[in-house]
Structure 1
Amino acid sequence: MIKINSNGEVVISAPKRVPQKYIEQLIIQKEKWIIEKINSINEYYSNRRPISYANGDKIFYLGKKYILEVIPSEKNFIEQDEEKIYIYCKKTESADEKKKILEKWFREKISIILENLTIDIGKKVGFLPEEIKIRSMKSRWGSCNTTRKIITYNLHLVEKPISAIEYVVLHELSHIPYPHHQKEFWNFVEKYMPDWKLRKKILNNKA
């Protein structure tokens, strides 16, 4: 099995009995895929500008850009209007603490969205996971453990438009009956989402 980790490194796992030559041939066969994956990870990092969690910072929520405003408060909480997201916190709170406050709010919001979308789309396609997890991931938008039927979503999906999030949900649900990316898998995705290619481009900021 060939994987690309979050640092862009190629990781190969195979039984000891597998000949070295077979592994080398597999790498050659997968060369295009490996390059695309590494480029995707590099592009992901280059497009993510660091946030200082100060007034005026720009952040994305469900595909829309908001201005961040920090307001002194004895209690930590978040508010949102049409143009801004407000972080209420103590003056002494560090950037890391402000990040935690915002990520907690993001997690609460995206958890509800992903749970509802997974149930709605899952019922349409006839497959539902046993469990849904959300965590910060650096190199993928979602993953599906087909054996245990556990779907894990990337916390950063909270930055993306609903149309792109729907694509990720369908993609991972489709792995329950099709644990691969062969023709049958994509036929299944297209059956329920004919415009999946456009949604995927939106997801990866290429539309």
Structure 2
Amino acid sequence: MIMKIIKKKIKSIIIKVEDGEVVVSAPHGTSKSYIDKVLDKNKSRIEELKTLDAKKNRFKNHLFGEKIEVDNEKDLEKIYRTRLKAVLDILFEKYEKITGLKATSVNIRKMKVRWGTCYPASGKININLKLAERPIDEIEAVVLHELVHLKYGNHDKKFYNECIKYMPNYLEIEKRLKT
């Protein structure tokens, strides 16, 4: 079992499963043997948590859908920016060529809710830094989505038909992005 133990100023043991890893938060001074007993006592609950976690389809500490080992958030962000920029350069060039739509600028930003934003009047597109965690086909769908917004501002039938025209499985990929 992949496990991480974090000692902190709390009163009782907390067990979570994040990205397939069991994370145990325990009060300072808690012995490893006591933590093992608590884990043993809660085996069935941990299995439930693992199942729920797997369904969430999280991509924490992933690069293009693959798990990576990084020492700290600063290094992870640097990797995300560098690698995502390289992929975005290729994908924007590809989809600008086949759609005939062109962004005036593409910026990578930290965003809390959206994968991307488009400002049709200025032609500017922002892409969420966290998109670097997702598989390439999902990044590709976001690039296409934002470019199509240069032509259609709303998410109406014409907008979706345009996306499907260039990416037949667009709706399936968009559904994965919402999980």
Query: What TM bracket, shorter-length normalisation?
Result: 0.5 to 0.7
User: Which residue matches 1:188?
Assistant: 162
1:107–1:155 Cα contact (<8 Å) kept: yes
User: Which residue matches 1:60?
Assistant: 62
Q: Are positions 1:152 and 2:154 aligned together? A: no
How much does 1:202 deviate?
2.5
Q: Secondary structure at the match of 2:103?
A: coil
User: Which residue matches 1:178?
Assistant: 152
Query: Structure 2 CA distance, aligned partners of 1:146 and 1:48?
Result: 36
Task: Go from structure 1 to structure 2 and tell me whether the alpha carbon gap of 1:105 and 1:125 turns closer, same or farther (over 3 Å shift).
Answer: same
Q: What is the number of residues matched between the two proteins? A: 124
Q: Are positions 1:131 and 2:105 aligned together? A: yes
Higher relative contact order (CA 8 A, sep 6+): 2
Q: Residue type of the partner of 2:143?
A: V
CA distances 1:106-159 after superposition (whole Å, capped 9, x unpaired): 101101111210111111001010000000101000010101000100000000
TM-score (norm 2): 0.64
Query: Structure 1 CA distance, aligned partners of 2:154 and 2:176?
Result: 23
How much does 1:100 deviate?
1.4
C-alpha RMSD of matched pairs (Å): 2.1
Q: Residue type of the partner of 1:172?
A: E
Q: Which runs of 5+ in 2 are unaligned?
A: 1-17, 24-59
Moved over 4 A (4+): none
Q: Residue type of the partner of 1:115?
A: D
Kindly name which structure, 1 or 2, has the bigger radius of gyration based on alpha carbons.
2
CA distances 1:162-194 after superposition (whole Å, capped 9, x unpaired): 011110000000000111111111111111111
2:138–2:173 Cα contact (<8 Å) kept: yes
The share of aligned pairs that are identical, in percent, is 38
Q: Secondary structure at the match of 2:61?
A: strand
TM-score (norm 1): 0.56
Q: Residue type of the partner of 1:158?
A: A
Structure 2 counterpart of 1:100, from 58, 70, 74: 74
